[in-house]
Chains A and B, each alone.
Chain A
């Protein structure tokens, strides 16, 4: 024993620190709150989020390219080049060109789109029931495209035949019936051609004009950036949160008419909900369809209708998709009533 440098007593001394430590580990857990039980007890206290920011996407008042596009589409209607035929019928001629273009779909985000006339959605074509319409279509894009209009027309003008890049075609038909129509590309694969941006509203006014109003055009859509079949952004007129930071200005008691359609790809439904007010909804824009007096309507893809509303109080009225996810991913806005 004596010849050893390390006696057993020494070894025990060395180890005692470890033994005490091991015993202490039981206490450690309660002190540090490392065990699940301990942290569960703290949830109530830690879950105090008063200081966290609960607002999103506010405070950006800059008007970027994408916003300006959405704003322009809100109030711009394309009536075409108007002339009168020998039989007295009004002829409207529209130039439509399909072009590949990068579109700003949310602040700073570029989307490689396929467009009619360089915007997503495309221009809002407008005419009166009974007019003769000629759409001179040029495909300036990289893929075959077409224009398929909703409405009543001869099947050969239905836009099922692809028009190849560099080729032209004129769609000619009489505008009927009155109401809100839509148009979109009908080349396969359909989901890709529509999702890329080839769609828009097409208004056929009734022969007896509607009551004068502030008229707004709104196309609900979505954008899937990584092509996983799920949209990253939802917008009205192609720019996320366009009317959040730039509310749509309206006068008190003024009649507002909204031409609303849904061309969202990948989701079954989209919806429109107005805060603090009720509106009258005419499905497909037909006065002879049963209308609804409500604050929320839903539309499946391709469904559309006209909303008529007046605002009895001054202030800011929010509107958004009542699918919370769509709302929070860009489909939200304000009417500012003065």
Chain B
């Protein structure tokens, strides 16, 4: 009986193998030579060195690719490829071009394959890609520190001020937090799509962002429910909400650090005082958000330190990652996960607010809450002016 059951499961599988084998051997009967060779060569990263350019490339097309010529700024140029000029499907390589680039000038690099297919890489403003030296490592770490840890710590400092608020005002602050988070959620998704679009088509960057967000959201909801069941509690503990929010915001800040580190290493952004202050203003609200759920309990000082580090420190990791080893698909995944985590926090706080107001027989969308929510969105929108470049 059991054998029969197993066989019934195997039959479609065996037939599938047979069909695939038949098509592989005899063709599907719909073969048509493509009008032009299909070749997909990706330039993943252009590193600018003292001697010229180093391009990380990958072949994500259906066939292997042979790189035959390189043209830099309308001039045929010598180049070398490691490991080899021929890249098999999904193989990666490094193209080294010795070229006298000019500080601050745009440069266009054309890679031409044996079949005459051209892939173009552009440098908007050439400047030396930071080397992996200790001082650069520290500098990037500093940027992450100012963008992540500093503003969140400053935001958390509002805790004693907010602690004096009445219940209704606390709920309004929580509504404000929902507004902040909603803005962050949308922003994180948008950043994810932007970075995901840079990944090779075959990896479907945008899908990775959406799947990352969805799965994280569902996983966190499930995990939350499991915890509640285990601890036989009615609602998520405020500290857990703050913790989750810190994780979500941390991943968001990782993405922010990633963007800064990348554009900085590409010479696209001059990260000046203005931008650092902008990020501090923009991200200070994240600290308020994290502090909000804690207003009903008595947290210890180390809880704040922990939350500040979880939410802020990933920005440091992000700038390192973006500045030194950037991979679009990994960045997209991180931002997707961050968006999912933020969405889950929105869900939990909103649910908590509604339950709380129900208990007191009040409408959940009170004028106070609505104002808080709106102000939260507007604060984020306006402070974002400082960091959009």
A3 to B273, CA, bound (A): 41
The reply on A268 being an interface residue by CB < 8 A is no
Q: Is the CB of A56 within 8 A of B77?
A: yes
Q: Mark A267-278, 1 if CB is under 8 A from B, else 0.
A: 000000000000
Whether B272 pairs with A29 at a CB distance below 8 angstroms is yes
Q: Determine how close the nearest CB of chain A comes to the CB of B125; give it in whole angstroms.
A: 10
Interface check A22, CB cutoff 8 A: yes
Q: Which of these, B104, B110, B114, contacts A43 with CB under 8 Å? A: B104
CB pair B299 A6 closer than 8 Å: yes
Q: Which residues of A contact B277 (CB under 8 A)?
A: 22, 25
Chain A residues with CB under 8 A of B326: none
The chain B residue sitting closest to A33, CB to CB, is B139
The interface on chain B, measured as residues whose beta carbon lies within 8 A of the other chain's beta carbons, has a size of 59
Partner of A10, one of B76, B264, B301: B301
Tell which of A21, A35, A49 touches B272, judged by Cβ atoms closer than 8 Å: A35
Stretch from A117-125, A199-207, A311-319, A322-330 that touches the partner: A322-330
The residues in A between 193 and 247 inclusive whose CB is less than 8 angstroms from any CB of B are: 225-226, 232-233, 240-241
A28, A31, A52, A106: the one within 8 Å of B99 (CB): A52
Contact between A39 and B273, CB atoms less than 8 A apart: no
Given A106-B69, A110-B114, A325-B74, A47 contacting B103 (CB threshold 8 A)? yes
- The binding surface of chain B is classed by DSSP as mixed
Given A4-B298, A6-B301, A54-B100, answer yes or no on A25-B146 (Cβ-Cβ < 8 Å): yes
CB distance from A60 to the nearest CB of B (A): 8
> Is B116 touching A225 in the complex (CB atoms < 8 A)?
yes
Residues of B within 8 Å of A34, CB to CB, are 139, 143, 264, 270-272
By beta carbon, the residue of chain A nearest B118 is: A226
With an 8 Å Cβ cutoff, the count of chain A residues facing the other chain is 55
Q: At the interface, yes or no: B149 with Cβ under 8 Å from chain A?
A: yes
The smallest C-beta distance from A248 to any residue of chain B, in angstroms, reads 20
The residue that B50 contacts in the complex, of A19, A52, A226, A325, with Cβ under 8 A, is A52
In whole Å, how far is B121's beta carbon from the nearest beta carbon of chain A? 15
Name the distance in Å between B38's Cβ and chain A's nearest Cβ: 14
Q: Pick the contact of A32 from B102, B127, B142, B154 — CB < 8 Å? A: B142
A59 touches B78 (CB 8 A): yes
Q: Does B157 contact A (CB under 8 A)?
A: yes
Cβ-neighbour of A107 out of B69, B270, B280 (below 8 A): B69
Q: Taking the complex as formed, is B177 at the interface, i.e. its CB lies under 8 A from any CB of chain A?
A: no
Q: Give the docked Cα–Cα distance between A35 and B100 (Å).
A: 24
Complex-state Cα separation, A43 to B267, whole angstroms = 13
Of all chain A residues, the one with the shortest Cβ separation from B135 is A32
- A225 shortest CB reach to chain B, Å: 4
- The answer to whether B146 touches A53 (Cβ under 8 A) is no
What B residues does A14 contact at CB under 8 A? Answer: 153, 156-157, 301, 304-305, 308
Cβ of B98 within 8 Å of any chain A Cβ, yes or no, is yes
Roughly how many angstroms separate A329 CA and B112 CA in the complex, as a whole number? 13
* B55 smallest CB distance to A (angstroms): 16
Q: Are B270 and A35 touching (Cβ within 8 A)?
A: yes
Q: From B69, B71, B304, name the one whose CB has the most chain A CB atoms within 10 angstroms.
A: B69
Q: Can you list, as one digit per residue, whether each of B142-183 has a CB less than 8 Å from chain A (1) or not (0)?
A: 110110011101101101100100000000000000000000
With A11-B160, A108-B66, A109-B69 in contact, is A18–B276 under 8 Å at CB? no
B363 an interface residue at 8 Å Cβ cutoff? no
The answer to whether A329 and B128 have CB atoms under 8 Å apart is no
**Nearest Cβ on chain B to A137's Cβ, whole angstroms:** 28
List B residues 233-252 near A (Cβ within 8 Å). none
B residues in contact (CB < 8 Å) with A: 50-52, 66, 68-69, 71, 74-78, 85, 98-104, 110, 112, 114-118, 127-128, 139, 142-143, 145-146, 149-151, 153-154, 156-157, 159-160, 163, 264, 270-273, 276-277, 280, 298-301, 304-305, 308
A-B contact pairs, 29 of them (CB 8 A): A6-B299, A6-B301, A17-B150, A18-B157, A19-B154, A21-B145, A22-B277, A25-B273, A26-B273, A28-B143, A29-B273, A32-B139, A32-B142, A34-B143, A34-B264, A39-B270, A43-B103, A46-B128, A52-B100, A53-B52, A53-B78, A56-B77, A109-B68, A109-B114, A225-B112, A225-B116, A232-B116, A240-B76, A329-B74
